[in-house]
Amino acid sequence: MPYNRLGTAGLQVSQFSFGSWVTFGRQVDTGIAKEQLQLAAEAGVNFFDNAEVYALGRSEEIMGEAIRELGWKRHEYVISTKLFWGINGDMVNMKNTLNRKYLMQAIDGSLERLGLDFVDLVYAHRPDPNTPIEETVYAFSDMIEQGKALYWGTSEWSADEIRAAWEIADKRNLRKPVMEQPQYNLLHRDRVENEYARLYNDIGLGLTTWSPLASGVLTGKYLDGVPEGSRGSTAAHKEILGDARKFEPQIRELLKMAEKLEVSPAQLALAWVAANPHVSTVILGASSVAQLDENLGALVALERLTPELKAELDALFA
């Protein structure tokens, strides 16, 4: 397993990581989570991604329980959480916000559910137009000063918002955001490849990307219908079927390319994301141990993905 620095930070994260979005607390219980975490660790994965809102806190509880049962030492893994949506219903000041009151209480709640003294990474899960960015920057900086997190960053923020937060921190000698967690895959490329282009050199931004398979669209499994139990069978993910139809010619060509390389379409699509030098880690999601095992095979696809083949994929999904 290769390891990359998180942007210009000293922390190193595995090329592929494992996240609990959608699955933990919905499709995966502590038993399966424990098997998945162990499999990932044996493959060299050291970064495990979570968020307060995943299964309304249950995802953090499951991950924390699984880690304790596995007996991992704290220095052996990197773990994250993300804050914004809130899990206290419609209570004012505690939902869809990055104000100081919410953030300082939310991080305590996440640590309690995870059973940890600190997380390695904490993210502002979305931007908050109703809270001054300066207030948000101070709150995240204070989390680090208090030892509750080691690094902070953003998720799905615009380039302008990230730069504004970084410049406020720079001017006031506060902890700067060092990473962004955007969606990035063959179907969603503009933000990572264009909008953020100057941030990589200007502020040393690192990326921990999510949805590398476009919610399963790039596996090809939705081309001939909706498999039972898949994300496309749920109301929350009906929109992904539109992508499957819209990009059907490209996806079928992806399947042919994968067959020639003797890898799965998922592995090839994952390798394409990992091949971007600005991506620090690619977050994998899986509802079963077997699915995670297949996705970790993307390391083989990455070795077989030549610059010429990558350019061919770039053009195919341009």
Annotated catalytic residues are 54
Q: Could you give the CA distance from residue 259 to residue 253 in angstroms, rounded to a whole number? A: 10
Residue 249, amino acid: P
Burial of 164 (0-12, 13-18, 19+ CB in 10 A): middle
In 3D space, the residue among 218, 227, 226 whose CA is nearest the CA of residue 254 turns out to be 218
12-14 and 3-5 strand pairing: antiparallel
The helix-helix angle for 58-70 and 30-42 (nearest 10°) equals 60
Angle at 139 between CA 135 and CA 143, to 5 degrees: 170
Determine contact, residues 281/14, Cβ cutoff 8 Å: yes
